[in-house]
Amino acid sequence: MADINHFEYGWITPALSYALSVLGSILGLVCATRIRDADSTGQKLWWGTLAAWALGGTAIWTMHFMAMLGFAVTGTRIRYDVPITVVSALIAVVAVGLGLAIVGTGKLSVIRIIAGGLFAGSGVAAMHYTGMAAMRLDGRLGYDQLRVALSVLIAVVAATVALWLAVTVRRGLAIFGSALVMGVAVNGMHFTGMSALSVHLHERRGEVTGAEVGTLLIPIVLLVIFGVVGLVYALLAAPTDEDRAAAAYLDARRAPAPAPAFGDPVEPDPVGLRARSTLARPGAQFPS
């Protein structure tokens, strides 16, 4: 059995994978709040799609790929089958999207949240092991069935909690705290699944085909950047009623008071304002 290193570059890859999962969770939870505030079916579908992309694409799949950058096996190169890798990303986005559709339509209930979590969690686990199936190396992959089952259980629980948070959390600090918890859950599922892996090298070495990690890294990084920028722009371009009310309040506070018209009686200044101008002169006493 070959030696496996999950942290080839030290703490960098797990730290980046956690940061991506938190970022995607924040954007996904904010988009999920817009689903509940949407007035039409089209708006709900739009925000649901964005939430699925943020959670499934950024928080889950991109986190998986970033963590895989630190994966290495002694004695063999690692390549990836591009079509299967793309399919794994689609599985994550579609699974989360369907989970959001289950909990976001009709009357919210515990049964809907559990059903959505089972569906989305199974999809997340399928994404992980589909992504592993896309890996090409000069050996055979083996899995510890107990740890695989544990990783699937973690995925289902994490997805259920994520969907529950998506339909209940609304405030900024609560969203941020929820994203931190979701980041731990997503990374926990990934590394639990990776701990189930074993690699048995072939006796006769052959050529390893597929795309190198560096070849996939640039397009994935660009996809993440444009995706995050697009999500942020979509959120800023569609303020909620609370955002508009807060902006109107700030505008009203910043607006100068209208000057009195000629001939209108001028009301006396309050003591505080008169004191402010009087105390500016040396030796002046506080007015009574």
Whole-angstrom distance, CA of residue 225 vs CA of residue 59: 13
Q: Does residue 277 fall inside a structural domain?
A: no
Q: Who wins on pLDDT, 276 or 214?
A: 214
- Residues 66-108 have pLDDT tens digits of 999 889 998 888 999 999 999 999 999 999 999 888 887 777 7
- The long-range contacts involving 232-235, CB below 8 angstroms and separated by at least 24 positions, are 232/27, 234/31, 234/50, 235/27, 235/30, 235/31, 235/34
- Residues 111-139 have pLDDT tens digits of 888 998 898 889 889 999 999 999 999 88
Q: Does residue 107 fall inside a structural domain?
A: yes
Quick check: 191 and 33 in contact, CB under 8 A? no
- Residues 191-243 have pLDDT tens digits of 999 999 999 988 877 788 888 887 888 888 898 899 899 998 888 887 766 66
Alpha helices by DSSP H, the chain: 12-37, 41-52, 63-68, 82-104, 110-133, 145-168, 172-195, 213-237, 241-254, 271-278
- Per-residue confidence (pLDDT) for residue 169, from 0 to 100: 80
- Per-residue confidence (pLDDT) for residue 202, from 0 to 100: 85
Q: Which two tokens stand for residue 139?
A: 């050996």
Q: Does residue 118 fall inside a structural domain?
A: yes
- The long-range contacts involving 180-186, CB below 8 angstroms and separated by at least 24 positions, are 180/22, 182/21, 182/22, 182/25, 182/59, 182/158, 183/18, 183/19, 183/21, 183/22, 183/25, 183/59, 184/18, 185/154, 185/157, 185/158, 185/161, 186/21, 186/25, 186/59, 186/60, 186/63, 186/158
Q: Does residue 227 fall inside a structural domain?
A: yes
Parent domain of 194: 4-245
- Per-residue confidence (pLDDT) for residue 259, from 0 to 100: 58
- Segment 145-173 shows an average pLDDT of 87
Domain count, the chain: 1
Q: Does residue 116 fall inside a structural domain?
A: yes
Whole-angstrom distance, CA of residue 193 vs CA of residue 171: 33
Q: Does residue 271 fall inside a structural domain?
A: no
- Segment 168-197 shows an average pLDDT of 87
- Per-residue confidence (pLDDT) for residue 279, from 0 to 100: 47
Q: Who wins on pLDDT, 278 or 55?
A: 55
Q: Please say if the pLDDT value at position 268 is more than 60.
A: no
Q: Please say if the pLDDT value at position 273 is more than 70.
A: no
Q: Does residue 253 fall inside a structural domain?
A: no
Quick check: 118 and 156 in contact, CB under 8 A? yes
Q: Does residue 267 fall inside a structural domain?
A: no
3-state secondary structure 17-51: HHHHHHHHHHHHHHHHHHHHHCCCHHHHHHHHHHH
- Residues 7-35 have pLDDT tens digits of 888 889 999 999 999 999 999 888 888 88
